[in-house]
Amino acid sequence: MATLVISQSPVGGFSFENCKRNAVLEGEANKVGCSLPAARKTGTTICGVVFKDGVILGADTRATEGMIVADKNCSKIHYISPNIYCCGAGTAADTEMTTQIISSNLELHALSTGRLPRVATANRMLKQMLFRYQGYIGAALVLGGMDCNGPHLYSIYPHGSTDKLPYVTMGSGSLAAMAVFEDRYKPDMEEEEAKRLVRDAIAAGIFNDLGSGSNIDLCVITKGKLDYIRPHDEANKKGVRRVNELEGDRPTGDYKYKRGTTGVLSKTTLNLEVVEETVQTMDTS
Amino acid sequence: MAAATMMPYFGQQMSSKSELVPDWTSQEVSTGTTIMAVEYDGGVVIGADSRTTTGAYIANRVTDKLTPIHDRIFCCRSGSAADTQAIADVVTYQLGFHSIELDEPPLVETAANLFRASCYRYREELTAGILVAGWDRRKGGQVYCVPIGGMLVRQPVSVGGSGSSYIYGFMDSNYKTSMTKDQCLELTASALSLAMERDGSSGGVVRLASISEDGVERRVLLGDQLPKFSTH
């Protein structure tokens, strides 16, 4: 006998059912003294600049989880289409998935139109999706690319507002990077000059902002050519351990002290007598 | 379209803010703003400042808040940047479709009503104060005010945004009926400069546009070209 099932049509948007539960859990965790794990955010400095022949996007490579560096060399410049790339700041998962979704939709769109996708299309898709989620998707993006109408650069904020500008910066290090841009940006720069400018802007973010660090990635997009330079500049190379000077010329540094470095004043030996020994196996299956 | 349901504001309280990420990165982008629109015989003059802020940081210092909705209809945006951009995109689409159906340039009153419809229906979710201004054959130059909440009222002159509070007195004393286009442009430029001087959320350059039967003329007044009022 068939039972009658009344199906509820799925409600769009996020489900906030677990928020009350999470709030209770957080309260209880705080009482004990620990805190809930934080979403991994890319502290970040990302920027973009329009130069004579195209667009250059730049990003640092540090991903933080609270005060700890979760990833020393993460890639923040995401592929959207062969002629469009997007840097992402904010919650790492959100930027990754948002750019992937729009990249997939844009490819289908391009197959449908039979044309190379335009940056304005990607911008529309991104802003409409982010607005739909009312800022709950924490993705702040710098979208840049080259299409039939020339080079374009957009900054897209988590709530869904966009700005079309010749130079933009985003992320926690954006103030440092913007200072560099405001000082040295000129319209119609040559490629090398523009690459230096972007490199210096990201470097300003890396060295003056705690949320940004490690290396500098660059992406140069021009008509018919794409240069994804990762890394462009290893600004923070891990040092080699110094040779222990007391040892002389040992090839790999060793931080152990040689026996005899500390003088021994007295020695007492306690002989421990083994009374009983039992072995209890643990089920590790 | 924004969802009509009331969403609890858990996002802001819940997320454990990292000390590395400063406060303004989580603030919504707002067009702090001073916007203004004036009718004259034969058209309208509209003006706006160019500052968009996220908290205390200026996200865009050269924003264009005068958004074309149709050939002879513009809107001045104030409030949340995301909300006003989204509403303007929706109304542009709706008005364009309507105009093609009519095979006629649309009325400014129609555009204003489309704004009002969106702003009123989603009034709980939106923060948008909009001035709709333009020219049409039936009534000439018109200015309609759609403030936060979704009211619709036609006014010969209207100001909006956070900086408007500082220039109501200036407007009341200096606006006269039957001004020429150039007088309107001067009045708008002066009023906006005064507001930008006093309001922290307004600044940058002054963008002006005049809309008439002949078309749209746009102008930008850069820092040194702004009318000066203080002597020290």
pLDDT tens across B31-87, in order? 589 999 999 999 999 999 999 998 889 999 999 999 999 999 999 999 999 999 999
Please answer whether residues A212 and A45 qualify as being in contact, where contact means their C-beta atoms are separated by less than 8 angstroms: yes
- The pLDDT, as a whole number, for residue A57 is 97
Tell me if residue B50 falls in helix, strand or coil: coil
CA distance linking residue B6 with residue A174, whole number of Å = 33
Residue of B nearest to A35 (CA): B16
Amino acid of residue A277? E
* Cα angle value A29/A31/A32 (rounded, 5°): 70
ipTM score above 0.90: no
- Would you call A171 and B25 a contact, using CB atoms and an 8 Å cutoff? yes
Burial of A181 (0-12, 13-18, 19+ CB in 10 A): buried
- The pLDDT, as a whole number, for residue A243 is 63
Alpha helices (H) in A59-173, listed in sequence order: 92-113, 119-132
Selecting from A11, A39, A157 the residue whose C-beta is nearest the C-beta of B82 gives A157
Residues 186-215 of A with CB under 8 A from B: 209-211
Q: Which residues of B touch A124 (CB under 8 A)?
A: 89
CA distance linking residue A132 with residue B36, whole number of Å = 29
CA distance linking residue B46 with residue B75, whole number of Å = 9
- Would you call B29 and A157 a contact, using CB atoms and an 8 Å cutoff? yes
Q: Cα distance from B83 to chain A (closest Cα, Å)?
A: 8
Which two structure tokens, joined as six digits, stand for A190?
């040559």
**Catalytic-role residue among B5, B25, B31, B33:** B33
Residue of B nearest to A211 (CA): B20
Q: HSE of A49 in the Cβ direction (CA atoms, 13 Å)? A: 29
Mutant choice from A65, A161, A182, A208 vs B, greatest count of B C-beta within 10 A: A161
Question: A156, A97, A35: which is closest to B14 by C-alpha?
Answer: A35
Is A27 near chain B, with CB under 8 Å? Answer: no
Tell me if residue A41 falls in helix, strand or coil: strand
CA distance linking residue A145 with residue A23, whole number of Å = 42
Q: Which residues of A touch B8 (CB under 8 A)?
A: 16, 19
Is A12 near chain B, with CB under 8 Å? Answer: yes
Question: A185, A221, A186, A187: which is closest to A201 by C-alpha?
Answer: A185
Question: B95, B38, B96, B29: which is closest to B63 by C-alpha?
Answer: B29
- The pLDDT, as a whole number, for residue A3 is 77
Question: B28, B36, B71, B86: which is closest to B186 by C-alpha?
Answer: B36
CA distance linking residue A22 with residue A30, whole number of Å = 12
Q: HSE of A149 in the Cβ direction (CA atoms, 13 Å)? A: 8
Question: A115, A128, A82: which is closest to B83 by C-alpha?
Answer: A128
Q: Cα distance from B121 to chain A (closest Cα, Å)?
A: 16
- Would you call B14 and A161 a contact, using CB atoms and an 8 Å cutoff? no
In chain A, which ranges are E strands? 41-42, 46-50, 54-60, 63-65, 68-71, 77-81, 84-91, 139-147, 150-156, 162-164, 167-170, 216-222, 225-233
Please answer whether residues B47 and B35 qualify as being in contact, where contact means their C-beta atoms are separated by less than 8 angstroms: yes
pLDDT digits (tens), chain B, 232 positions: 433 344 443 333 334 444 555 556 566 766 589 999 999 999 999 999 999 998 889 999 999 999 999 999 999 999 999 999 999 999 999 999 999 999 999 999 999 999 999 999 999 999 999 999 999 999 999 999 999 999 999 999 999 999 999 999 999 999 999 999 999 999 999 999 999 999 999 999 999 999 999 999 999 999 899 988 876 6
Is A161 near chain B, with CB under 8 Å? Answer: yes
- Residue A146 host element (H or E): strand A139-147
**Catalytic-role residue among A42, A44, A64, A91:** A44
Q: Is B110 a catalytic residue?
A: no
Residue of A nearest to B52 (CA): A163
Please answer whether residues B39 and B178 qualify as being in contact, where contact means their C-beta atoms are separated by less than 8 angstroms: no
CA distance linking residue A194 with residue A202, whole number of Å = 12
Is A64 near chain B, with CB under 8 Å? Answer: yes
DSSP code at position B209: E
Q: Give backbone dihedrals phi and psi of A111, rounded to 5 degrees, phi first.
A: -65, -35
Task: Lay out the sheet containing A225-233: strands in order across.
Answer: A167-170, A46-50, A54-60, A216-222, A225-233
Please answer whether residues B89 and B129 qualify as being in contact, where contact means their C-beta atoms are separated by less than 8 angstroms: no
Q: Cα distance from B159 to chain A (closest Cα, Å)?
A: 23
Burial of B192 (0-12, 13-18, 19+ CB in 10 A): buried
Instruction: Please give the model's pTM, rounded to 2 decimal places.
Output: 0.80
Burial of B80 (0-12, 13-18, 19+ CB in 10 A): buried
Residue that is written with structure tokens 């940058």 in the block: B204
Please answer whether residues A160 and A152 qualify as being in contact, where contact means their C-beta atoms are separated by less than 8 angstroms: no
Which two structure tokens, joined as six digits, stand for B75?
């809107």
Q: Which residues of B touch A171 (CB under 8 A)?
A: 25
pLDDT digits (tens), chain A, 285 positions: 567 777 776 666 677 777 788 888 888 888 887 777 666 565 799 999 999 999 999 999 998 888 888 888 999 999 999 999 999 999 989 999 999 999 999 999 999 999 999 999 999 999 999 999 999 999 999 999 999 999 999 999 999 999 999 999 999 999 999 999 999 999 999 999 999 999 999 999 999 998 898 899 999 999 988 999 988 888 888 877 766 555 555 555 667 788 888 898 999 999 999 999 999 999 887
Is A38 near chain B, with CB under 8 Å? Answer: yes
Bridge partner residues of B210 (DSSP): B45, B217
